[in-house]
């Protein structure tokens, strides 16, 4: 496939993917998180937030808060947005920078705890960057979804999008998220970076990862979908 034959700069590829129309393909996974970037947080102390629903975000650098302090990362901001909207929750970080769907599947058992009331599955962007076949990505996501459902953990699937210049690959990639949501009767949030991608005011200097303001936009847009999923809508 094209993504395996041609390598452009990582920045060009990522910006193209986020723009949903830029040219070029190829690229690599997200860079390792900086030492101060939050990864999956440890289990809460016994009794901490015991009366609140628990939402976990299984993802990559976007959900891990690449380049941001924990207070500005998506888990903290989503928790704040939901609480402000009248749905107090505890949001747990389960994002690892650079993760593909295969990586998220491999750590599913220990990254998502059994007391989770909802898991937001937000991986797939690095599969796109590595040119992984949509069928393989679908198999990994399906295993994640069914694995969570087998543990009675509801799922909200957060999608990514490929640029139209990817041709048939873009169509197949987009269909994975919609088809899985339909086939497993789970809610879908179509594009995790909706409203943020390519806006310089909402991204870090790399033009790829959301800054604190961008994360707040993501959290505010994602919060209603999370609240609806928690309510069973």
Query: What amino acid positions are annotated as catalytic residues?
Result: 61, 206, 209
* Residue 225 CA, distance from chain mean position: 14
Give 3-state DSSP helix, strand, coil % of the chain, rounded to 5.
Answer: 45, 10, 45
Q: What does the alpha-carbon distance between residue 43 and residue 111 come to, in Å, rounded to a whole number?
A: 10
Residue 188's DSSP bridge partners are: 157
Q: What does the alpha-carbon distance between residue 118 and residue 152 come to, in Å, rounded to a whole number?
A: 9
Q: What does the alpha-carbon distance between residue 210 and residue 208 come to, in Å, rounded to a whole number?
A: 7
Least Cα distance to 42 among 87, 94, 114, 115 occurs for 94
Q: What does the alpha-carbon distance between residue 5 and residue 25 come to, in Å, rounded to a whole number?
A: 9
Least Cα distance to 203 among 17, 66, 38 occurs for 66
Tokens of 112: 């998502």
Tokens of 30: 């997200």
């Amino acid at each position: 496939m094209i993504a395996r034959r041609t390598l452009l700069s990582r920045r060009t590829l990522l910006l193209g993917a986020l723009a949903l129309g830029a040219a070029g393909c190829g690229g690599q996974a997200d860079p390792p998180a900086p030492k101060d970037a939050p990864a999956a947080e440890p289990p809460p102390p016994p009794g901490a937030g015991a009366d609140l629903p628990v939402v976990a975000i299984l993802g990559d650098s976007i959900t891990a808060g690449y380049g941001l302090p924990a207070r500005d990362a998506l888990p903290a901001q989503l928790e704040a947005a939901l609480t402000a909207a009248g749905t107090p929750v505890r949001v747990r970080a389960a994002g690892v920078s650079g993760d593909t769907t295969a990586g998220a599947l491999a750590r599913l058992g220990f990254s998502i705890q059994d007391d989770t009331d909802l898991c937001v599955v937000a991986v797939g962007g690095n599969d796109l960057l590595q040119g992984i076949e949509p069928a393989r990505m679908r198999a990994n996501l399906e295993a994640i979804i069914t694995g969570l459902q087998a543990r009675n953990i509801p799922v909200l699937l957060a999608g990514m999008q490929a640029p139209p210049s990817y041709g048939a690959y873009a169509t197949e990639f987009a269909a994975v998220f919609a088809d899985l949501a339909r086939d497993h009767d789970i809610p879908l949030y179509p594009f995790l970076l909706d409203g943020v991608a390519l806006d310089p005011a909402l991204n870090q200097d790399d033009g790829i990862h959301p800054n604190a303001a961008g994360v707040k936009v993501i959290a505010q847009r994602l919060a209603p979908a999370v609240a609806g999923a928690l309510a069973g809508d």
